[in-house]
């Protein structure tokens, strides 16, 4: 468990993730503390901008109705209405929730490629990359690591 600095444990909405990191506190979590609450693979992907294996990941072929929240801090990032099967081996979305409300785009020139990395605006978790070969109307394809998101089924 994380030791919350302010000592409050009252849950209000989706702020508390199953990791116990409060969205409001996520900016103050040190890399060492992330290491304690995330699995080695989740840590590598979200905090070290790693990439999980294609196809053999949780949400590539997952199409239930609901939201996809940040695995690290719980803010809403995507939802099932924009998810599509891209065939690339990772979950793909044609748009983020509320037009990048919680997503920040960063130019990424690593690995000899010119790409646009997407990160969680709240806690700086690496999510994946956005490409310009997606379906209409956005024409964009958010290629996201399953490790970086946590599915929350739609309330009936």
| Residue 67: strand, helix, or coil | strand
Q: What are the tokens at 87?
A: 């065939």
Q: Does 77 bind Zn ion (CB under 5 A)?
A: no
Binding mask 16-55 for Zn ion (x = CB under 5 A): ----------------------------------------
Question: Which residues, 6+ apart, have CB-to-CB distance to 34 below 8 Å?
Answer: 43, 46, 47, 72
98: left (phi over 0), alpha (psi -120 to 50) or beta: left
Beta carbon of residue 156, minimum distance to Zn ion (angstroms, whole number): 27
Binding mask 53-72 for Zn ion (x = CB under 5 A): -----------------x-x
Residue numbers at the binding site for Zn ion (CB under 5 A): 70, 72-73, 120, 122-123, 125
């Amino acid at each position: 468990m994380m030791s919350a600095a302010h000592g409050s444990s009252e849950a209000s909405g989706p702020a508390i993730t199953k990791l116990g990191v409060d969205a409001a506190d996520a900016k103050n979590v040190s890399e060492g503390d992330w290491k304690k609450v995330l699995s080695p693979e989740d840590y590598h992907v979200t905090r070290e901008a790693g990439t999980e294996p294609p196809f053999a990941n949780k949400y590539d072929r997952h199409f239930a109705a609901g939201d996809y929240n940040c695995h690290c801090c719980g803010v809403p990032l995507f939802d099932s209405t924009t998810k599509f099967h891209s065939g690339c081996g990772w979950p793909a979305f044609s748009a983020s929730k509320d037009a990048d409300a919680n997503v920040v785009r960063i130019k990424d020139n690593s690995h000899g490629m010119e790409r646009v990395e997407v990160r969680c605006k709240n806690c700086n978790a690496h999510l994946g990359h956005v490409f310009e070969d997606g379906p209409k109307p956005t024409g964009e394809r958010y290629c996201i690591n399953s490790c970086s998101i946590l599915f929350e089924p739609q309330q009936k």
